[in-house]
């Protein structure tokens, strides 16, 4: 259930709990100080990329939904509870997710300017980090959370389609202007995606991801696992340009 925009949306759903005191923390997640969380005030909730951060006065609990994570607000799901937080005004339950305890100050742990949806996101820094990996496939580089935190496989596919760049292009071969636009597109699509979540707009907004046909050329998208990570890409050979080294 991840991708940055969904996590920001989840954070917004949970904001009513801010200021409330934990009545009880339960679950099967390891390294969580269940007992000492009791009576702690939830100071704030933040996100970093696909991570959700519950901030308490002296520590933070980090939730990552990974691939299969589920959550329920004011209800319970019929599966193994990983972390449940009971407040006066309701409860939050997480399942099949990664939970961690963070004792360091968050500014020491996170570089917020890496997060595509954070106000301090720094596109120039992202561009520089991308060019530091010139031999990587662009479809792999876009998923690097140290470069573009919050971008997932859906955003990756649609951004490449929108900017008409072939997923197998090498980062170092993409002209700077095009790569710059690609970074901008990550921000724009993530923001749009968040707006769709907020508006509760029905239907599908993906142009390429999980789609059968290219809306520009009306030919079937190619669906293929690309690169060492093997994440699936949806792309159109006709309208997405492949940037590779000149072979002479």
| Window 61 to 80, contacts with DNA (CB under 7 A) | 64, 66-68, 79-80
Q: Which residue has the tokens 């079937």?
A: 220
Q: How far is the CB of 230 from DNA (least distance, A)?
A: 8
CA proximity to 143, closest of 98, 209, 201: 209
The pattern of x and - marking residues 137 through 156 that bind DNA according to CB under 7 A reads ------x-x------xxx--
**Residue 20 binds DNA, judged by CB under 7 A:** no
The pattern of x and - marking residues 157 through 186 that bind DNA according to CB under 7 A reads ------------------------------
74 vs 229 by CB, closer to DNA: 229
Q: How far is the CB of 88 from DNA (least distance, A)?
A: 28
**Residue 210 binds DNA, judged by CB under 7 A:** yes
Residue pair 114/170 in contact by the 8 Å Cβ criterion: no
Q: How far is the CB of 8 from DNA (least distance, A)?
A: 12
Q: How far is the CB of 1 from DNA (least distance, A)?
A: 6
DSSP designation for 186: H
What distance in Å separates the CA atoms of residue 115 and residue 126, rounded to the nearest whole number? 10
The helix (H) or strand (E) run that includes residue 32 is none
The helix (H) or strand (E) run that includes residue 72 is strand 70-73
Q: How far is the CB of 124 from DNA (least distance, A)?
A: 20
188 vs 223 by CB, closer to DNA: 223
What distance in Å separates the CA atoms of residue 135 and residue 171, rounded to the nearest whole number? 6
What distance in Å separates the CA atoms of residue 181 and residue 161, rounded to the nearest whole number? 12
Q: Are strands 51-55 and 60-64 parallel, antiparallel or unpaired?
A: antiparallel
**Residue 49 binds DNA, judged by CB under 7 A:** yes
**Residue 136 binds DNA, judged by CB under 7 A:** yes
CA proximity to 230, closest of 171, 145, 167: 167
Residues touching DNA, count (CB under 7 A) = 33
Q: Could you tell me the CA-to-CA distances from 233 to 67, 171, 215, 225, 226 in Å, in that order?
A: 17, 16, 16, 6, 7
Residues near DNA (CB under 7 A): 1-3, 6, 49-50, 64, 66-68, 79-80, 82, 95-96, 98, 133, 135-136, 143, 145, 152-154, 209-210, 223, 225, 227-229, 231-232
């Amino acid at each position: 259930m991840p991708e940055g925009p969904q996590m920001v949306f989840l954070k917004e759903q949970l904001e009513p709990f801010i200021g409330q005191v934990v009545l009880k923390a339960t679950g099967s997640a390891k390294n969580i100080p269940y007992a000492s969380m009791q009576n702690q005030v939830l100071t704030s909730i933040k996100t970093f990329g696909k991570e959700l951060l519950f901030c308490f006065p002296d520590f933070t609990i980090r939730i990552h939904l990974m691939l299969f994570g589920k959550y329920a607000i004011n209800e319970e799901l019929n599966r193994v509870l990983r972390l449940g937080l009971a407040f006066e005004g309701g409860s939050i339950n997480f399942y099949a997710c990664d939970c961690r305890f963070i004792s360091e100050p968050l500014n020491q742990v996170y570089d917020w300017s890496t997060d595509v949806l954070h106000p301090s996101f720094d596109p120039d820094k992202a561009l520089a980090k991308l060019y530091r990996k010139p031999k990587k496939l662009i479809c792999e580089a876009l998923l690097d959370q140290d470069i573009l935190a919050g971008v997932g496989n859906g955003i990756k596919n649609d951004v490449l389609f929108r900017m008409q760049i072939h997923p197998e292009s090498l980062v170092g071969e993409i002209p700077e202007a095009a790569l710059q636009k690609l970074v901008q597109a990550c921000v724009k699509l993530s923001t749009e995606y968040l707006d769709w979540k907020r508006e509760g707009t029905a239907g599908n907004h993906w142009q390429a991801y999980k789609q059968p046909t290219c809306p520009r050329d009306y030919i079937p998208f190619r669906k293929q696992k690309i690169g060492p990570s093997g994440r699936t890409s949806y792309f159109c050979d006709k309208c997405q340009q492949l940037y590779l080294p000149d072979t002479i």
